[in-house]
Amino acid sequence: MSSALNEALVFECETGNYHTFCPISCVSWLYQKIEDSFFLVIGTKTCGYFLQNALGVMIFAEPRYAMAELEESDISAQLNDYKELKRLCLQIKQDRNPSVIVWIGTCTTEIIKMDLEGMAPRLEEEINIPIVVARANGLDYAFTQGEDTVLAAMAQRCPESVNKKKEPSNLTDQSNHPPLVLFGSLPSTVVTQLTLELKNQGIQVSGWLPSQRYTELPTLGEGVYVCGVHPFLSRTATTLMRRRKCKLIGAPFPIGPDGTRAWIEKICSVFGKTPKGLEERESKIWAGLEDYLKLVRGKSVFFMGDNLLEISLARFLIRCGMVVYEVGIPYMDKRFQAAELLLLQKTCKQMNVPMPRIVEKPDNYYQIQRIREFQPSLVITGMAHCNPLEARGIDTKWSVEFTFAQIHGFTNAREILDLVTRPLRRNDNLKALGWSKLVKN
Amino acid sequence: MKLAYWMYAGPAHIGTLRVASSFKNVHAIMHAPLGDDYFNVMRSMLERERDFTPVTASIVDRHVLARGSQEKVVENITRKDKEEQPDLIVLTPTCTSSILQEDLQNFVDRASRESESDVILADVNHYRVNELQAADRTLEQIIRFYLEKAKKKNELPESKTEKPSANILGMFTLGFHNQHDCRELKRLLNDLGITINEIIPEGGNVTNLKNLPAAWFNIVPYREVGLMSAIYLEKEHQMPYVATTPMGVVETAKFIREIASILNSLTSVNSALGLTKNVNFDDYIDQQTRFVSQAAWFSRSIDCQNLTGKKAVVFGDATHAACMTKILTREIGLHVACAGTYCKHDADWFREQVLGFCDQVLITDDHTQVGDMISRLEPAAIFGTQMERHVGKRLDIPCGVISAPVHIQNFPLSYRPFLGYEGTNQIADLVYNSFTLGMEDHLLEIFGGHDTKEVITKSLSTESDFDWSPDGLAELKKIPGFVRGKVKRNTEKYARQKGIRTINVEVMYAAKEAAGA
């Protein structure tokens, strides 16, 4: 990182008193993504209550996840953890017969020091189903980082590439570059879209982590290049580099047309390819967004921070012509996000706007004081704050929607702006009625 | 360990938070890891609350695990004291903090020396009580704290209010139709000439709790929350209480008669209160039953005749399930094949209540057992929680929601009490609508569905025009059903414009980008 960058970027760190989802929420999208998996969350009623309420109606579709609910006798070690888990996993095997059981460790298993990593291999052998252990707990992580812990654990389970020669053997698929594996969970339609974008540049994606099925995990090993699609996957990246000896391509993330183009260009440059037609493609996408851009230009945004997508989204919104006052973020990995930060800085310069302050581990109370002061056009925040802010006449967008909507690639840029402009469009309609402040005093 | 997918009652801290945040100017601080403040989301969403939920977390993270909370909890309490100046701060343990076994009481003692607010530690065991039991206990704890404080300071009221008055205990946030019930109860008491002294906790001030003993008696509308407080007030302050839930015509009458007998017993021992003759609400009950509430007439009307002997299953919290069972059997003439509750701690009371009103009783907090029971009995309608509604959907049995746990649609904006005379009307509608829907469905099935021809002319018949490549078709299948038709049409429209014959994935996404949607 250049020193110029360090000067321009201001990182602050607050108290960490902020609202976010518990990282165990990752089971909600991962069980859908990995079709032959079963997620077992080993925790208490609190975890279960969060899952059943946060995931709403999905709970009724016989999900492939469950709680192993710890009772008082488990906490006080009157019962044997191993026997208990074996009993439950056998039941899961009988009812669902999954290809993998993922154990999600929680705060409670951390505190009572339940040795999940130690038990898993023994039990795996006994019941003959792979057991992957991910410690997605609220003591260490926030929201989307849950996926990071699961994928980092899964990266260890990917088959080793048999051929360790310099030139990989899969020249049969006409690719003239080393194998490329992308990591990050995305809906299968978005996977297809991004794969196609790279194919257009003559780049073959040899696999995704995670794959649609556990049994189809990609081959990893020395000489394999990997690239992330989400900003919150720093542990997975580290695991892929250190444990699986893969080469990490550090690129901005394919969120927004600017991010997507930079992401493709970076991958092309690593493989020594000249990107074709990307500039036209990007400008065509921007042109298609003009109706939304008109709405957002000159407006201001405040990210309270809860899902780690904030830097990429802020960068995209600045490019759209918005002013970002503050980017709150639960955790900032400056190395994994280096390219993204650089692009953010470049974008600010290009659009001639000041750099936003980046606040790690924000304090929601102080942030609300700042929001009152700045009166931003839009606050992107969690559901705990949305209604109270709306009642005070401040437009909000619920941040969790960005994690569930399809926002990656050229094709989905419109989706992001659809989300961002929705409160603006709705409240424009209501403004004339004169009742935007709905609290007394 | 227990394999669990779903639960009826939440963890203990939710109960504590519901009570604490129902009071005005009371702040709760959870000793919890990041992400455990999901309560704020529920309150903000389900209740559509305009104000920030007065709950924050003192985060338990890796450092706390290693070194203990040390100053952190005390700092968070004193900070909140300065920022919000609440009357009371309730330190709320969670399942995580309870196994850390830190001396939270010590933190509370220290913090209360430094802050203007009162500070207490919610006294609930996470592994032994559920949401409802914890709420009951916390409410009692707060009331006890303020009454003992007032006693020490000699601030307790010296006499009863001049006119007969009552406290309502147990109305609180995220309760099933609590706000509507509260309004209905106020109206009912007003009709009876009884003033309301305090409503606790919803909208109440803790500083007013010392006035509780000024009321003549207490009302506990729901069995789950408030009973402990009522019993405490009876023991310490000699206040009688009514714990009959005024739900349904018969129970409402019983509720009113109990009030009458309390008032009469009080006036006879203490004529100094100024009431000379005994109160008698029988005329009022008769008038309301026959002409204000439509439910008595409804059950007599021929519409309701068709419901005679129809089979129903009831499940919910103890209060609502018991009352509903009695209403269905006694007032409408249905046949309740099974009545059940998830309030296992109150099973004896429940059994006693529904004795003679149903064939069998089910006490369980396992929703699969309830589901199995329903599918075995095949009732014509279910009255239960949101979970039973979904069971009903799967089995094609209509369901009326009568109890928490509930979704956002069970927090209606319009006036929908379950208690009192207006409540009887609402319940009658709920029951009737469940059954007519069921009947309509049944008739439709007999006569082979709605008499409408499927509109095929309007849809674009393009099947012959385009070739869909296998990858295109596969991609199309991934698109959710409700938009698939639209995507297909748009893609083909695009392909026609561009003169493309074969549609593959790339064409699909090119079309999507071109359409800008």
B252, exposed or middle or buried, with CB in 10 Å at 0-12, 13-18, 19+?
A: buried
Task: Evaluate whether A249 touches A227 at the Cβ level (below 8 Å).
Answer: yes
Residues in chain B: 517
Q: Do A142 and B51 touch (CB under 8 A)?
A: no
pLDDT confidence of residue A75: 87
Q: Do the chains contact at A74 and B1, CB–CB below 8 Å?
A: yes
Please indicate, yes or no, whether residues A87 and A102 belong to a single structural domain of this protein.
Answer: yes
Integer angstrom CA distances of residue B452 from A124, A139, A257, A399, B449: 56, 58, 47, 43, 8
Residue A336 above 90 pLDDT? yes
Asked whether residue A386 carries a pLDDT value surpassing 50, the answer given is yes
Other Cβ atoms closer than 10 A to B267: 19
Residue A188 lies in domain? 180-271
Query: Are both A429 and A297 inside the same structural domain?
Result: yes
Interface list for A 376-395 with B (CB within 8 A): 382-388, 391
With a cut of 60, say whether residue B455 has pLDDT above it.
no
For residue B61, the chain A residues in CB contact (below 8 A) are 16, 139-140
Instruction: Kindly give the residue spans of alpha helices, DSSP state H, lying in B85-162.
Output: 95-100, 104-114, 131-152
For residue A235, the distance in angstroms to the closest alpha carbon of chain B comes to 17
In this prediction, residue B276 has a pLDDT band, given cuts at 50, 70 and 90, of: low
Q: What percent of chain B has pLDDT over 70?
A: 92
Please indicate whether, in this complex, the C-beta atoms of B13 and A46 are within 8 angstroms of each other. Answer: yes
**Which of A213, A247, A271 delimits the end of a domain?**
A271
Q: Is position B303 annotated as part of the catalytic site?
A: yes
A43 and A131 within one domain: yes
For B214, other C-beta atoms within 10 Å of its C-beta total 19
Q: End of a domain among A137, A158, A188?
A: A137
Q: Which of B13, B31, B41 is the best residue to mutate to test the A interface, defined by the most A CB atoms within 10 Å of its own CB? A: B41
- Residues A282-334 have pLDDT tens digits of 999 999 999 999 999 999 999 999 999 999 999 999 999 999 999 999 999 99
pLDDT at B146 over 80: yes
Token pair for B192? 């009876």
Query: Is residue B55 a contact partner of residue B21, using CB atoms and an 8 Å limit?
Result: yes
Single residue among A212, A236, A271 that ends a domain in this structure: A271
A39 has a chain B CB within 8 A of its CB: no
Answer whether residue B52 shows pLDDT above 60.
yes
Q: What is the pLDDT of residues B464-481, one digit of tens each?
A: 568 888 888 888 888 776
Question: Residue B335 has what pLDDT?
Answer: 96
Closest residue by Cα to residue A150 from A29, A308, A309: A29
Instruction: Tell me which of A198-212, A249-263, B118-132, B263-277 is least confident.
Output: B263-277
User: How confident is the model over A48-86, as pLDDT tens digits?
Assistant: 999 888 876 555 556 788 999 998 888 888 889 999 999
A226/A237 Cα distance (integer angstroms):
8
Helix (H, G, I), strand (E, B) or coil at A101: strand
Partner-chain contact B127 A72, CB within 8 Å: yes
Residues B149, B119 contacting (CB under 8 angstroms): no
Q: Which domains does chain B have, with CATH numbers?
A: 12-129 (3.40.50.1980), 156-287 (3.40.50.1980), 295-447 (3.40.50.1980), 467-515 (1.10.8.550)
Distances (CA, A) of B404 to A313, B384, B465, B466: 38, 9, 54, 52
CA distances from B426 to B250, B294, B298, B303, B307 (A): 15, 10, 12, 16, 17
Distance from CA of A82 to the nearest CA of B (A): 11
User: Is residue B65 pLDDT above 80, yes or no?
Assistant: yes
- A304 and A384 assigned to the same domain: yes
Helix (H, G, I), strand (E, B) or coil at B333: coil
How far apart CA B56 and CA A365 sit, in angstroms, is 9
Where does residue B198 rank: exposed (0-12), middle (13-18), buried (19+ CB within 10 A)?
Answer: buried
Q: What is the Cα B449 distance to its own chain's centre?
A: 37
Phi, psi of B446, deg, nearest 5: -65, -45
Closest CA to B103 of B86, B91, B116: B91
Does A311 fall in a domain? Answer: yes
Per 3-state DSSP, what percentage of chain A is helix, strand, and coil (rounded to 5)? 50, 15, 35
Examine the domain organization and report whether A246 and A305 are in the same domain: no
Query: Is the peptide bond preceding residue B412 cis, with omega within 30 degrees of 0?
Result: no
Mean pLDDT of B116-133: 93
* Mean pLDDT value across residues B90-104: 90
Task: Flag whether pLDDT at B515 surpasses 80.
Answer: no
Q: Is A277 on the interface with B (CB under 8 A)?
A: no
Give CA angle at A69 (A65, A75), nearest 5°.
Answer: 145
In a domain, A158, yes or no: no
B53-74 average pLDDT score: 89
Average pLDDT over residues A266-291: 95
Q: Are residues A263 and A381 in the same domain?
A: no
pLDDT of res. A56: 67
Which residue do the tokens 């020594």 mark? A272
User: In this structure, is residue A121 part of a structural domain?
Assistant: yes
Question: Percent of chain A at pLDDT above 70?
Answer: 93
Give the Cα separation of A436 and A438 in Å (integer).
6
- What would the DSSP string read from start to end of B230-271? HHHHHHHH---EE-----SHHHHHHHHHHHHHHHHHHHHH-G
Element (H, E) at B3: strand B2-4
Residue A261 shares a structural domain with residue A306:
no
What pLDDT sits at residue A408?
A: 97
Structure tokens at A421: 């402009």
A91 touches chain B (CB under 8 A): yes
Q: How far apart are CA B317 and CA B224, in angstroms?
A: 8
CB contact under 8 A, A139 and B1: no
Spatial separation of the C-alpha atoms in residues B90 and B260, rounded to whole Å: 37
pLDDT: is B216 or B511 the higher one?
B216
Q: Which residue in the block uniquely carries the two structure tokens 């290693």?
A: B66
pLDDT beyond 70 at B458: no
* pLDDT of B453 higher than 60: no
Contact A138 B35 (CB under 8 A): yes
Nearest CA-CA partner of B8 in B387, B392, B411, B407: B387
Interface test with A, best of B8, B42, B96 (most A CBs within 10 A): B96
E strand intervals along B372-424: 381-384, 399-401
**What pLDDT shows up at residue B269?**
60
Residue A76: the pLDDT is: 85
Please identify which residue in the block is written with the tokens 């079309």: B511
- Looking at the structure, tell me whether residues A242 and A305 fall in a common domain: no
In one letter, which amino acid is B496? R
- The contacts of residue B407 (CB under 8 Å, 6+ apart) are A56, B46, B386
Identify the pLDDT of residue B446.
Answer: 65
Q: Average pLDDT over chain A, rounded to whole?
A: 91
Calpha distance B509→B517 (Å, rounded): 10
Structure tokens at B152: 């020490």
Is the model's pLDDT at A163 over the cut of 80?
A: no
CB atoms within 10 A of CB A406: 14
For residue B15, name the pLDDT band (cuts at 50, 70, 90): very high
Q: Is the pLDDT of residue B29 over 90?
A: yes
Q: What's the average model confidence in pLDDT over B88-111?
A: 92
Which strand (E) or helix (H) includes residue B57?
strand B55-59
Q: Which amino acid is at B231?
A: I
Q: Does A264 lie in the same domain as A284?
A: no
Residue A262 and residue A309 share a domain = no
Residue A388: which of B1, B51, B62 has the nearest Cβ? B51
pLDDT at B73 over 70: yes
Q: Among A205, A181, A175, which residue's Cα sits nearest to residue A193? A: A205
pLDDT of residue B419: 97
CATH number at residue A321: 3.40.50.1980
If you search the block for the tokens 């444990």, which residue do you land on? A243
pTM for the full predicted model: 0.90
- Is pLDDT above 80 for B405? yes
CB contact under 8 A, B35 and A143: yes
Alpha-carbon dihedral angle through residues A190, A192, A197, A201, given to the nearest 10 degrees: 150
| Position A207, amino acid | G
Lowest mean pLDDT among A398-402, B10-14, B99-103, B343-347: B99-103
Omega before A121 within 30 of 0, i.e. cis:
no
Burial class, B247, CB count within 10 angstroms (exposed 0-12 / middle 13-18 / buried 19+): buried
| Domain total in chain A | 3
Q: What is the pLDDT of residue B229?
A: 97
Residue A180 CA to chain centroid, in angstroms?
20
By the 8 A CB rule, do A70 and A108 touch?
yes
Q: Could you say which of A50, A67, A388 has the minimum Cβ distance to residue B38?
A: A50
Q: Report DSSP state, residue A423.
A: H
A35 and A102 inside one domain? yes
Average pLDDT of chain B, as a whole number? 89
Whether residue A420 sits in one domain with residue A284 = yes
Q: Is there a domain that residue A88 lies in? A: yes
DSSP B303-330: HHHTTTT-EEEEEESHHHHHHHHHIIII
* DSSP-assigned beta bridge partners for residue A247: A225
Q: Does A383 fall in a domain?
A: yes
Chain A, nearest residue to B52 by Cα: A388
A297 or B497: which carries more pLDDT confidence?
Answer: A297
**DSSP state letters, A19-53:** ----GGGHHHHHHHHSTTEEEEEEE-HHHHHHHHH
Domain contains A439: no
Q: Is residue A156 part of a domain?
A: no
Of B143, B145, B293, B316, the residue nearest B222 (C-alpha): B316
